Structure 1
Amino acid sequence: MKDIQGQLISGVFFTALAKYANLIISLIVTAVLARLLAPDQFGVVAIATVAITFLNLIADIGLSATVIQHKELDQKAMSALFSLSVYITVLLSVLFFLCAGIFASWYDQPILKPICQWLALSLLFSGITVVPNALFYRERLFKAIALRSLVIQLVGGAISVAAAFNGYGVYALIINPIFSSLLIFAISYAKFPLKFTFRFSLQALRPIFSYSLYQFLFNIINYFSRNADTLLIGKYLGMVPLGYYDKSYRLMSLPLQNITQVITPVIHPILSMKGKDLEYLNRVNLKLVSFLALIGFPLAVFLYFCSEELILLFFGPQWELAIPTFKILSLTVGIQLVLSSSGSIFQTAGDTRSLFICGLFSAVVNVTGILLGVFYFKSIEAVAQCLLVTFSINFVQTYWLMYRVIFKESLLAFFTCLWKPILFAGLLAVLLFGADLWFHWDQQLYNFLIKSLIFGPSFALLIWFGGYQADIKQFIYRKRSKQ
């Protein structure tokens, strides 16, 4: 059996291979669709996507993390969980289909009704895939997951673009999620065919439900924390501002997701094998924080100074009003990137209760900020500014609770990991500010290339002379410690 370090590297490698290929495909598809469709069409689909995301969380009820964490669950227990998820998902899908008209009326957008009814198919297949898909991660089949993801992104993106070119309008935006959910279900169920039974007992599963319950509650709370901006902007500021905001947030999230989703899906399945070793878990956490901060804070600075070029190059001049919002949101990338690994640490330690507490605190703070931006300042730029403040508050609270409850140590070692990346980001900001003053041309492509040429080598030099080369080598090549 491979050692944990080797499995972690292997998992990250295959996940990264697919994610970065998907990033390129996603950027191309998004750039094409942004030129064929209007901002309000993206806004309408953003509202429907938020609803689907919420219902998917209910359908999951914390089962994914539970299946990964509790490796003692046998085939009979898995079948019971699968049957439970099927019942919940079918009920939710039917209710969503029937209530689509009410949802459309609330936002005064008639087109929302057929969109939501079609997306009920995506909800159905996503929900019944929860347990089989979690088994892919529990068995650490990262290569298969990567290949599956790449194929789905290629085919789904091609179909979406073809539909947009052929005049399907807003419906081109919902083809990919429907197709993706269907194909993931087919592949997952073919690999792990679980038996569905009309009657089943959950008595033997009661000990795991406290873990599942707090995970589920965290997912729900985190959903509202992350999506209240979309729901409130769409309702009270309008679909056009929502279109600009959604495009800004999604572009900011692309590098964020394609870094976090390379690492975080691997952390829990691999580290769950040593979840009781808190000293080991703390060492891994500090390595992750150091690595993610090293990427995240300089990346946030780069995105901030390239905001205009990125929006205009990828989406065109009709999206110019999204630039100020994207510029502000880009400053949250470093914070969000480091924070992204915290959930896996709580899960691995078996403390989903503390994870839920963090989620609850985050929801209260974030929603308060969003309400201020929407109702007091009444602009999407203000919402972005409020989120920058609230993400910073959540960052400090989450790691304070982690070190107080799980590791029972001070935050000194944690903050020590952050000073170099923050210093690097400050130096990079000076260089890119100088580039803005001296090399600002009319051609956005030239400006972007100049800033990229400054960012790349500077970042490499900062890593080398900052002493991180030894840390990276140690992280990759450190031999398995003796038990």
Structure 2
Amino acid sequence: MRDSDPADHFRTDHLVGDIAGRSIRGGAVTVGAQVLKIVMQFGVTIVLARLLKPEAFGLVAMVAVVLTFLETFKDLGLSAATVQREAITHQEVSTLFWVNAGLGVVAALLMVPLAPLLAWFYGEPELVGITLALGVGFALSGLSTQHLALLRRQMRFSTLASIQMGAEIIGMAVALVAAYEGASYWALILQRIVWAACMALGGWIFCRWRPGRPGRLSQVRSLLGFGGYVTGSNLASLFVRNMDQVLIGWYWGATPLGLYDRAYKILLLPINNLNAPLFSVAMPALSRLAGEPERYRRTYLGMVEKLSMVTMPCAALLVAAPDLVVRLLFGPQWVAATPIVGWLGLAALYQPVSYTCSWLFMTQNRTSEMFRWGLISSGLLAVSIVAGLPFGAEGVAASFALSGIFVRMPALFWAVGRSGPVRSLDIVRTMIPSIVASALAVLAILALRRLPVFDAATLGPALALVGAVAAAVTLICFSSLPQSRRALADFRAMAGSLFPRRINA
């Protein structure tokens, strides 16, 4: 990025001509980096699960609910506003920078009175120190919110991936060393603080834009309105979606919460993490195509189709063989998490696609509708969590998964498809091949597990056999359906664009 022209940090006109190519290349880079991140997180989680007790994860999980809530408050949806806006100025971004920096400090200060309240609520005195220490990350991350948003707006995905991977690697390394040295839950706290510091440093190093003096808030009223609706929707959703961990910790204690927290992270977060890089690609790409309805529709549905083809069969594997996954990744001391993993695997079938609906609301500037739907969805989810709580962590997981399939997801598709280029039936039709393939994969795995030869297999070969059967059934199904055959051809074309063959003269 040239320093001679500050406007270069905000221009997007040069992106539109090759929006498809940039999206493919950017998607490959960000998804590839995210997959590598997930693999590393799996490995680190496995090691930490053997170095730390479930209570350590449970204690940090009790504070993590508040962290997620305040992280959304600190952003205030202003990073998305910077990416979505067709034209934006240096003064506007400078004002948003100082708003985000101030909110980061406010979030850190809010952790001071919250620390004793959390310790009293859960009956865990250790939460005072944990809460105060974790608040440091907010002040750090607020300083780079707009720098990272400008990198996304410019679709500089390789740079973003480098920053994120560097922060993850350094944070994980610190956590592993600390856990090995007997730091207990402090290893997890250090990981988050170091990650936030590295992200802030990387944002300032790789984005050479520097903020100026803030302007009047009235000059960015529309941006604040956009971000406010996004934040309101996200906060309502986060409050209720984290209610499960709050209530399990309060009602059943740290050990059941530790089991639930590990099951949730090992299943939903790796799959949901794919939504984060895809959002980074989809938000600028769809925002630039908002004035071309048919091209917008094709682009969105193409993303949803490929996302469901990748994630739904993986979730089906977890539904059909949760015991094998738990035994391999966590060891015998975590066997009680098996039914939780199975139910959350069912939720993982639809979660990634349902999250993409937020892309439609935001890129079509329908954030007020997104806010209203967030309130309705949060109410439905709260009812399901309370209904499952008397039956333990497994009951909460089952209620969460089933209510999503039969109530929340259909209602969300109806809400987002009421207007705009993408209709509800478009989304459903796009998912059908993946639904069929996943169902057949589950049936094939269940049939395989009834064979006597499977009982004789050890853990590693058994899981490899289950994975091979699921992959084979999925590929056969996709190859047999015309719609998914075209998607497979798109995958091959994407690979060809990334790795073109050299043609000798």
Letter in 2 for 1:87: G
Deviations 1:194-248 (A, max 9, x none): 3364x64112112333212211111111211321111111112211110010011
Are 1:281 and 1:345, in contact at CA under 8 Å, matched by a contact in 2? no
Letter in 2 for 1:336: Q
Who is 1:7 aligned against? 22
Counterpart-to-counterpart distance in 2, 1:246 and 1:44: 10
Counterpart-to-counterpart distance in 2, 1:31 and 1:300: 19
Gaps of 5+ in 2: 1-13, 495-505
The partner residue of 1:330 within 345, 358, 363 is: 345
- The secondary structure found in structure 1 opposite 2:124 is coil
Is it true that 1:401 corresponds to 2:401 in the alignment?
no
Are 2:437 and 2:473, in contact at CA under 8 Å, matched by a contact in 1? no
Counterpart-to-counterpart distance in 2, 1:156 and 1:255: 17
Counterpart-to-counterpart distance in 1, 2:457 and 2:258: 26
Who is 1:421 aligned against? 434
Q: Does the C-alpha gap of structure 1 residues 475 and 304 become closer, same or farther in structure 2, counting only changes over 3 Å? A: closer
**Aligned positions of 1:45-444 closer than 5 A:** 45-190=60-205, 191-195=207-211, 197=213, 200-374=215-389, 377-392=390-405, 393-407=407-421, 409=423, 411-438=424-451, 439-441=454-456, 443-444=458-459
Q: TM-score with structure 2 length normalisation?
A: 0.90
Letter in 2 for 1:294: M
1:119 Cα deviation from its structure 2 partner = 0.5
1:139 Cα deviation from its structure 2 partner = 1.3
Are 1:31 and 1:314, in contact at CA under 8 Å, matched by a contact in 2? yes
Are 2:91 and 2:212, in contact at CA under 8 Å, matched by a contact in 1? no
1:358 Cα deviation from its structure 2 partner = 2.2
User: What number of residue pairs does the alignment pair up?
Assistant: 474
Letter in 1 for 2:447: G
Percent identity, aligned pairs only? 26
Q: Does the C-alpha gap of structure 1 residues 476 and 351 become closer, same or farther in structure 2, counting only changes over 3 Å? A: farther
1:285 Cα deviation from its structure 2 partner = 2.8
Q: Does the C-alpha gap of structure 1 residues 55 and 192 become closer, same or farther in structure 2, counting only changes over 3 Å? A: farther
1:391 Cα deviation from its structure 2 partner = 1.6
Segment of structure 1 superposing worse, 326-335 or 469-478:
469-478
Are 2:268 and 2:344, in contact at CA under 8 Å, matched by a contact in 1? no
Counterpart-to-counterpart distance in 1, 2:259 and 2:212: 44
Counterpart-to-counterpart distance in 1, 2:178 and 2:491: 46
Counterpart-to-counterpart distance in 2, 1:196 and 1:235: 46
Who is 1:481 aligned against? none
Segment of structure 1 superposing worse, 184-193 or 344-353:
184-193
Q: Does the C-alpha gap of structure 1 residues 464 and 282 become closer, same or farther in structure 2, counting only changes over 3 Å? A: same
Are 1:301 and 1:425, in contact at CA under 8 Å, matched by a contact in 2? yes
Are 1:260 and 1:341, in contact at CA under 8 Å, matched by a contact in 2? yes
Segment of structure 1 superposing worse, 128-137 or 312-321:
128-137
Q: Does the C-alpha gap of structure 1 residues 446 and 82 become closer, same or farther in structure 2, counting only changes over 3 Å? A: same
Counterpart-to-counterpart distance in 2, 1:127 and 1:230: 26
Q: Does the C-alpha gap of structure 1 residues 474 and 294 become closer, same or farther in structure 2, counting only changes over 3 Å? A: closer
Is it true that 1:470 corresponds to 2:483 in the alignment?
no
Gaps of 5+ in 1: 479-483
Counterpart-to-counterpart distance in 2, 1:207 and 1:424: 44
Alignment RMSD (CA, Å)? 1.9
Are 1:46 and 1:246, in contact at CA under 8 Å, matched by a contact in 2? yes
Are 1:339 and 1:395, in contact at CA under 8 Å, matched by a contact in 2? yes
Letter in 2 for 1:454: V
Are 1:275 and 1:350, in contact at CA under 8 Å, matched by a contact in 2? no
Counterpart-to-counterpart distance in 1, 2:470 and 2:251: 39
1:415 Cα deviation from its structure 2 partner = 2.6
Q: TM-score with structure 1 length normalisation?
A: 0.93
1:474 Cα deviation from its structure 2 partner = 4.5
Deviations 1:24-65 (A, max 9, x none): 111111001001111111011011111111111111111111
Letter in 1 for 2:404: F
Who is 2:465 aligned against? 450
- The secondary structure found in structure 1 opposite 2:412 is helix
- The secondary structure found in structure 2 opposite 1:48 is helix
Q: Does the C-alpha gap of structure 1 residues 343 and 412 become closer, same or farther in structure 2, counting only changes over 3 Å? A: closer
Q: Does the C-alpha gap of structure 1 residues 274 and 476 become closer, same or farther in structure 2, counting only changes over 3 Å? A: farther
Letter in 2 for 1:39: P
